Amino acid sequence: MITNKLLALTLSLFTAGSVATGAAGTATNKTQMPKFPTQQIVQKQTTNPQNSGQTINSSSNSSNTSTVTKPQTETPKTEVPVKEQPKVEAPVTQQPIVDAPKVETPVKEEPKTEAPKVETPAATPSTTVPSGVPANPNNKSFVYLDTVEKEILTYVNQERAKAGLNPLTWEENMRPIARYKSNNMLQYNYFEHNTPSLNNASPMDLATKYFKYNSNGYGENIFYSQGYPEGTTTAKYLVDQWMNSPGHRANILNANWTKMSAGVVFSSQGNYAYATQHFSTN
């Protein structure tokens, strides 16, 4: 069975007077690959991020890996069965809380000279799961596509340059979050922004509550395919698919984002591929 789907989520908290907007829909697929569903979600972190946010979810399960089927395109939905008409909620805008600035007199100290420190880069990206977060099961064998993850940033910044936007920087601290989400969808066989195994946590809750990532704005794009070999899951292909979808495109071209990371997991057991793209204003 060959299936190809997408979902998008945007979460942002702006300065006083700003409004976050998003779009959802389906655009003509300019690649030779088929198109898939789109969904855009807008969330805002409040003083209690665990309960903040709005979510539009879609889900898809594949049960027969021996049948080859064309990818499906779906319209966004709000926590309802896939076949129902989508519900679109207006984005929520919350005024940021600004603390009074603190001014401290710097203390003058004599300069200290230390021998330079040489750090050895990590051989592989971190997949550490914080204490209190259950590890994903191993229902399916998998590998992380490290090169694809980093190359996604290259193609995203090319698209932002075309739109006259500042480039995003790579956020390694978000990669374990994105990888956890992609592998969680693979192991539990679902496709939606919320995480059922973590009390249906939203992307913002997954990042800030469970992984203790500090950000006042968070966005997510996700991708899923089944039946395609590993070599077809390239960074350019993923970015092209997201750019051909209004909701995902809006995330990629959001001027408020400053950082990005990604997690891409592939399983040869059915040729499953799941990709998660995370954005932040941190």
Give yes or no for residue 135 having a pLDDT over 70.
Answer: yes
Residue 152's identity, in one-letter code, is I
* Average of per-residue pLDDT across 85-111: 40
**pLDDT reported for residue 84:** 44
Q: Which residue has the higher pLDDT, 258 or 216?
A: 258
**pLDDT reported for residue 28:** 33
Give yes or no for residue 123 having a pLDDT over 60.
Answer: no
Give yes or no for residue 172 having a pLDDT over 70.
Answer: yes
| Residues 24-61: tens digit of each pLDDT | 333 333 334 444 443 444 444 433 333 333 333 333 34
Q: Please choose, from the candidates 21, 52, 83, 57, the residue with its C-alpha nearest in 3D space to the C-alpha of residue 204.
A: 52
How far apart, in Å, are the Cα atoms of 205 and each of 172, 183, 193, 214, 277? 18, 17, 11, 11, 16
Give yes or no for residue 90 having a pLDDT over 60.
Answer: no
Per DSSP bridges, beta strands 143-144 and 259-267 are: antiparallel
Q: What is the phi/psi pair of residue 258, to 5°?
A: -120, -25
**pLDDT reported for residue 67:** 39
Rounded to the nearest 10 degrees, what angle do helices 235-243 and 146-162 cross at? 40
Q: Burial of 12 by CB count in 10 Å (0-12 exposed, 13-18 middle, 19+ buried)?
A: buried
* Average of per-residue pLDDT across 96-113: 41
- Give 243's pLDDT tier (boundaries 50, 70, 90): very high
Q: Which residue has the higher pLDDT, 50 or 177?
A: 177
- Give 131's pLDDT tier (boundaries 50, 70, 90): confident
Residue 245's identity, in one-letter code, is S
pTM greater than 0.75 (yes/no): no
* Average of per-residue pLDDT across 176-203: 97
Looking at the chain, the whole-number percentage of residues with pLDDT higher than 90 is 52
**pLDDT reported for residue 128:** 81
Give yes or no for residue 282 having a pLDDT over 80.
Answer: no
- Give 186's pLDDT tier (boundaries 50, 70, 90): very high
The radius of gyration computed from the CA coordinates of the chain, to the nearest angstrom, equals: 20
Give yes or no for residue 240 having a pLDDT over 80.
Answer: yes
